Structure 1
Amino acid sequence: MFIEAYTTLGADVCTFKHAGLRALYEIATLPPDERTREHTLKSGATKVPDEMTVRELREVKAALKAEREAREQAEARAEKAEGDYDLMCDTLEAVRAQPPRVKFPIFS
């Protein structure tokens, strides 16, 4: 665990010298751009990762994961909708290209 924290954080480990090993691990497994950014916790407090407890770090990681998954699902839905629209347009163009088929009732 400490090896992963050190190899990920490198010289920045000194910045987190007052954090415990578990907290260092949690910080090391955060995406790099999220390690120095302030995060708003469920409690309403705003902290940077080196000020957070292990529980708070896990809360932030769970929120980031949920946000990422929601974004991926939205992108997938948008791609599907775009594909459905393209298919509909292709079908409409194919129908427009056909000669009209009008049936007249036969009078006896």
Structure 2
Amino acid sequence: MKQRFRIGDVVEHVLPMQAVFLKAAERKNSQHYPDVFQKVVDTIEPIKPGMPYLVSGGLLAKYYCHVIKSRGGVAIDTGSVPEIWLNIPNRGLPQDYIDQWKWV
């Protein structure tokens, strides 16, 4: 997004791959909760009031958005839209639809 929309400084909180994309044997612990979750919550610090955040974090995205809002930021839960941008088939969407909106 930074390149595509020529955005300046970006703060990124990287989350582990969503469990649904892991092999069945690896799904027991995707390392997101509680391992990475608390680290992300502890480091959410909007640089200035109203700083926008795009959040794509599965079920935990709702809580991340709550934390961002409580700390003065503006959070948008993007749901599965980034998967479409990254050409990741999910949620039964037809490939022609994904091809229309993908970025990569």
Q: TM above 0.5, one fold?
A: no
> Of Structure 1 and Structure 2, which has the larger fraction of its residues in helix?
1
Shorter-chain TM-score: which interval? under 0.3
